[in-house]
Amino acid sequence: MSAPLFHTLPDGRRIAFRHVLPTPAHATSPTLVFLPGYMSDMSGSKATRLFASAAAAGRGCLLLDYSGCGMSSGAFADGTLTRWRDEVLSLIATQVAGPVLLAGSSMGGWLMLLVGEQLGPQLAGLIGIAPAPDFTRWGYTPAQQAALAAGETIFESNPYGPEPTPTFAAFHADAAQHQRLEQGVALTCPVHLVHGQRDPDVPWEISLKLAAALASDAVQVTLIKDGDHRLSRPQDLTVVERAVAAFYQGN
């Protein structure tokens, strides 16, 4: 992996990113933009695998760390969907002139909807990997919802790291304005959703609800019967990689 670059926002936030440009043969093809999950960054297995695949194929790819994550500046406690959406849009505006294929993992699968709505005709497609839209609505108990509404921070056990996972009241409050599963998603681009049926964090039925909520008729859902939430096993990464490759073959 190349050394990260940094995009500086007007308020001084520095957003770390990596960007491989397309070869001349793929100059008009969409650039793949990968959006990590909650408390994740561009060093994860899915991001690095897709970046390497894009580079090998001569296609453009853009990875980033949200503020407060990875190598970007800022505090994670300040992060919200609105804040991270706007960071992604600012980075795309400065780095990508042509069409964009968004790939979002877990929370990134919610964020890709919000980014896609703002991209307009620049949006070429969506790849959702265990997407988790609206998780602040269905992912917490009534007691947790009440605590967040009261301004408290809640902590949950983290199977992917040593520290508990926090959810901050500001993130929860901001997310209320970005619920999409019930109100619908007015995106008509091609979409491919990949979800493991042994996902303990995001039920695979969420991908079916998202498929139904999307205005697009060009929606595919791939279910991996023994797949977990991370979908980071070699065979899972191959499925994701093929979903991305199929998009380019069909466009």
User: In the chain, what percentage of residues exceed pLDDT 90?
Assistant: 95
Question: Strands, DSSP E only, in the chain?
Answer: 5-8, 14-20, 31-35, 61-64, 100-105, 123-129, 154-156, 165-167, 191-196, 219-224
For the stretch 98-145, pLDDT in tens is: 999 999 999 999 999 999 999 999 999 999 999 999 999 999 999 999
91 closest CA partner among 189, 18, 11: 18
For the stretch 217-229, pLDDT in tens is: 999 999 999 999 9
The pLDDT value recorded for residue 204 is 98
* Whether the predicted pLDDT of 250 surpasses 80: no
For the stretch 180-215, pLDDT in tens is: 999 999 999 999 999 999 999 999 999 999 999 999
Q: How far apart are CA 137 and CA 110, in angstroms?
A: 12
Domain 5-138+184-249, CATH? 3.40.50.1820
Q: Which residues are catalytic?
A: 106, 199, 229
The amino acid present at 56, given as its one-letter code, is: A
Rounded mean pLDDT of 72-77? 97
Instruction: Report DSSP state, residue 98.
Output: S
Could you tell me if 16 and 70 are in contact, meaning their C-beta atoms sit under 8 angstroms apart? yes
Phi-psi region of 41 (alpha: psi -120 to 50; beta: other; left: phi over 0): beta
The pLDDT value recorded for residue 160 is 77
- Residue 202 CB neighbour total at 10 angstroms: 22
- Pair type for strands 14-20 and 5-8: antiparallel
Q: How far apart are CA 139 and CA 82, in angstroms?
A: 19
pTM exceeds 0.85 for this model = yes
27-to-55, 96, 98, 119 alpha-carbon distances in Å:
13, 11, 9, 19
Residues paired with 126 in a beta bridge:
102, 191
What distance, in Å, lies between the first and last C-alpha atoms of the chain?
28
3-state secondary structure of 15: strand
* Domain parsing of the chain, residue ranges: 5-138+184-249
The pLDDT value recorded for residue 234 is 97
For the stretch 132-189, pLDDT in tens is: 999 999 999 999 999 999 999 999 988 777 789 999 999 999 999 999 999 999 999 9
